Amino acid sequence: MSIVLWHLHFWDRLHHNVVYMSTTRSGRPVESRLKNSKEWTKHSSIRRAAAALDISTASISACINQHQASACGYEFRLATPDILSGEEWRCLDLPALLQEKATRKGR
């Protein structure tokens, strides 16, 4: 690959990453607490938690993925999603749904 093509590819990927990360991915909410504390603090994303607590995103991710127990004296976990008023959760019978879809398709 020539240096010009590499340069164009690099800037195209960089632009894609900046646009993609800033517009389509807001991050998953996480919670943090001092080790052995009872109160969890909610953060809108791993990046926000890292900035607020001055901890690397890699360390927080390792805690969430259970590769390490804590980072810089903090424990981390994914936050449970907030349930909106009027929102209803139901059990899904996936085999029955797939069977119904297959039956409809066969008509």
pLDDT tens per residue across span 72-89: 999 999 998 777 778 777
CA dihedral sign of residues 58, 26, 51, 10: positive
Question: From CA 100, how far away is CA 106, in angstroms rounded?
Answer: 10
Q: What is the pLDDT of residues 3-52, one digit of tens each?
A: 555 555 555 665 555 544 443 456 889 999 999 899 999 999 999 999 99
44, two tokens:
């809108």
- Describe the strand order of the beta sheet including 30-34 as a list of residue ranges: 41-43, 30-34, 74-78
DSSP 41-68: EEESSHHHHHHHHT--HHHHHHHHTTSS
Q: Is the pTM of this model over 0.85?
A: no
pLDDT reported for residue 105: 76
The pLDDT confidence band at residue 92, using thresholds 50, 70 and 90, is confident
Rg (alpha carbons) of the chain, rounded to whole number: 21
> Looking at the domain that runs over 3-83, which CATH code has it been given?
1.10.10.10
